[in-house]
Chain A
Amino acid sequence: MSWVPSERQQERDAYRRSRARRSTAVAFLSTFALVAIAVLALVSSPGWPRVKASFFDWDVAVESFPAILQGLWLNIRVMAVSAVLIVIVAMGLALARTLRGPVFFPVRALATGYVDVFRGLPLILVLLLVGFGLPGLRLQGIPTSAVALGTLALVLTYSAYVAEVFRAGIESVHPSQVAAARSLGLTRAQAMRHVVLPQAVRRVIPPLLNDLVALSKDSGLISILGAIDAVRAAQIETARYANFTPYVVAGVLFVALTIPLTRFTDVLARRSGWVGAQSTLAGGGALR
């Protein structure tokens, strides 16, 4: 039971450890060199002092930060609400497209048409049409706030994309799984619900998280409807200080928001064995 590594194995382990230390040192040095070169190139460029003054003004950054952060909080809320709605609508669309039988022809056709239209329309057009067109109808119960209309536009566009992701997942489950479920006496709906969907959803979680990252950025577009999100707040601050630094601050905040999402996707993907030997972060794991 008590296994003591042989001398040969101990020697191998020591060798691997020394290699690992060396790799880390090399990685650190090469990264440092690259960053240093980039910074030097930037700082030594003839226009740098002026760019620095108008884009990297520390005082402006500090003073505009609270307003922009408050704007970002709106982005986060819009993102969270639309993400939930998108998943629901998209799943409905994907399932509608799998329905069989003549009764469901209109549902199927409608879902297909919806996906075709909203995947083709640029998001910014949908935002403008929904944001300025819908309130013009003066219908009862139609929201009029820029935030609600912007969220609606995001949901309309993104659910078309996400529906296709779900559909791809559903179609990636081998027909033999359905055959096995049906042979047990499960109905078509039961086979979908208990056998196909659980496998399909698991497979599409990485692309879904990818869409979530895209959504977090596109939530900034609701600013064109007048909602005061991070982008709009940065615009206001920029005008106030006559300095572009607030845009850089907003940019840094958006990146800071999406990086954890991206890394989370990586971790999830690797833990579930969704990625092959080449993982995005480690770069290693391959055979010697």
Chain B
Amino acid sequence: MSPGRMRDPMPGRPLRLDRPLLSVRGVRKAFGDHVVLDDLSLDVHAHKVVVLIGASGSGKSTLLRCIDLLEDVDDGVIELEGQDITDPRLDANAVRARIGMVFQAYNLFPHLRVIDNVTLAPRLVHKASRAEAEAEALAVLERVGLAAKAQAFPDELSGGQQQRVAIARALVGKPAVMLLDEVTSALDPELVGEVLTLLAELKQAGLTMVIATHEMGFAREVADEVCFLHEGRVHERGTPAQVLGNPREERTREFLRRITGP
């Protein structure tokens, strides 16, 4: 990573509105006989936020893990910035470094201080010097409101703070796209707000994000597009107002009824 990019806190990538930044086409993924993703396609354009909704087990996490190359797809193509990342000849580590992933259970490294959690990848993957990495990490921690906690260990933080550290850790590599998997579902209700506010700020800053969530209010607020996953495909897609407010598909309506209660 060049020093110029290390200092720039925002991903200032060239805007190509004509082609999607991330393009998933015809992806299939099965675990044994259980087909989770079946000919699934999805496009994400730069600076857009796509929200994935769907029943538990509908494959939201699996899709995000496939995009981050944590799972190999059984078929289909995933393109990031025009490059087929499912090509097995590609260096998967370099691809993962271009994608920021945030997990439901934070997955912070408990033996490392907050600052070291954030600087681990810059130092090991981007070969930044310690000083350089720490300066950048502090800037990102500042952005998520946790610069004061840099020297704390993860288990000394609240759930919401831990999840914001996890977001900082994913952000620090200036990923082309952020993947967030139900990042608030392990949090107490009063802590959900601080994380969602942060995500809304990131959207304002122009980040490209794919977010799996059960928070429909949040989806309505930040999504440019909502995709409803069902039977391994994107069953319905559209603006939040359309999909959440006036769904075309019976399955979508049923799902929304179930999660909002009778």
Contact = CB atoms under 8 A, between A and B. Distances in A.
- Are A and B a genuine interacting pair, yes or no? yes
A179 B70 contact: yes
Contacts of B65: 179
What is the interface residue range for chain B against chain A? 20 to 34
Contacts of B68: 183
Contacts of B120: 181, 184, 186, 194-195
Given A194-B120, A199-B110, A199-B111, A183 B93 contact: no
Nearest to A197: B111
A180 B93 contact: no
Contacts of B153: none
Contacts of B70: 179, 182-183
A187 interface: yes
Given A185-B121, A185-B125, A180 B96 contact: no
B97 A185 contact: yes
Interface in B76-106: 93-94, 96-99, 101, 103, 105
A198 B112 CA distance: 9
B93 A185 contact: yes
Contacts of A183: 68, 70, 96, 99, 101, 170
Contacts of B125: 184-186, 190
A176 interface: yes
Q: Which of B68, B99, B110 has the most CB of A within 10 A?
A: B110
A176 to B, nearest CB: 5
Contacts of A179: 65, 70, 103, 107
Interface string B114-127: 00000011001100
Contacts, number: 58
A177 B173 contact: no
What is the interface residue range for chain A against chain B? 10 to 19
Contacts of B111: 198-199, 202
B109 interface: yes
B60 interface: no
Given A195-B109, A198-B111, A202-B111, A186 B121 contact: yes
B44 to A, nearest CB: 17
A183 B71 CA distance: 11
A180 B124 contact: no
B124 A190 contact: yes
A184 B96 contact: yes
Contact of A177 (B96, B109, B169): B109
Contacts of A194: 120, 124
A177 B97 contact: no
A272 to B, nearest CB: 11
Interface in A233-249: none
Q: Which of B94, B103, B105, B124 has the most CB of A within 10 A?
A: B124
Interface in B56-78: 65, 68, 70
Given A177-B109, A195-B109, A185 B103 contact: no
Contact of A184 (B105, B110, B169): B169
Contact of A186 (B93, B101, B170): B93
Contacts of B109: 177, 180-181, 195, 199
A180 B103 contact: yes
A186 B122 CA distance: 10
A180 B107 CA distance: 6
14 contacts: A176-B105, A176-B107, A179-B65, A180-B103, A180-B109, A181-B109, A181-B120, A182-B96, A183-B99, A183-B101, A184-B125, A185-B93, A186-B124, A186-B125
Interface of A: 176-177, 179-187, 190, 194-195, 198-199, 202
